[in-house]
Amino acid sequence: MIDLHNDIDEILITEDEIREKIQILGSAISDDYENKDLVMISILKGGLIFLADLLREVTVPANIDFMAITSYGTDTESTGIVQLLKDLSSPILGKEVLIVEDIIDTGLTLNYLIQTLKARQPLNIKICSLMDKSVRRIVDMPIAYKGFDVPDQFVVGYGLDYGQKYRNLPYIGVLKEEIYH
């Protein structure tokens, strides 16, 4: 058996820490979006697991929708040039949009997406991100609901991949350097 765990150098955020943080985020979102027309948008594929867990901690009515994109770049660096592979299934006109992201790195991907979504005239757009790699930020990106600050290291697990692998690890880990060098 090839064990994905063997490729991990260090566990950065444990399953328990993720669960506790998502309870806090879910309760803040539930307070803020009471009686609002909320749609939580997950960016596939990385944001999928976070959305699934966060949604179950949200106690107010919430629609969900998905966008799939590929961003051009290397396996570990994005360029902000984004191709839309799958669009939302419903209009967001007049809605309160909450983008649910796995990690914000340079901010280029989200910057592009937000420009696209703004043109559809939602009431507002806010961001919820499990992780913030803020040292690498290129464009300013206010995160209304933030899980964890992470250092400038490439992380995998809990939805995040390297070459489409490691998404199913239940924690966030740092990949051994020899895997991607």
80 binds Mg ion (CB under 5 A): no
Partner touching 82 among Mg ion, ligand IMP, none, CB below 5 to 8 Å by kind = none
**Does residue 105 have an active-site annotation?**
yes
Shortest Cβ 147–ligand IMP spacing (Å): 13
CA 125/CA 97 separation, integer angstroms:
5
Q: How buried is residue 173: exposed, middle or buried, by Cβ count under 10 Å (0-12/13-18/19+)?
A: buried
What one-letter code names the amino acid at 117?
L
Shortest Cβ 167–Mg ion spacing (Å): 11
CA 147/CA 159 separation, integer angstroms:
15
Partner touching 155 among ligand IMP, Mg ion, none, CB below 5 to 8 Å by kind = ligand IMP
Contact at 8 Å (CB) between 103 and 46?
yes
46 binds Mg ion (CB under 5 A): yes
User: Quick one: tokens of 177?
Assistant: 């350097």
Which one of 36-44, 53-61, 120-128, 142-150 is the stretch in contact with Mg ion (CB under 5 A)? 36-44
Give the closest residue to 64 by CA, choosing from 46, 47, 84, 80. Answer: 47
Residues that bind ligand IMP (CB under 6 A): 46, 78, 80, 101-109, 133, 154-156, 160
Report the interface residues with Mg ion, using CB under 5 A.
Answer: 43, 46, 102
Catalytic residue numbers? 105
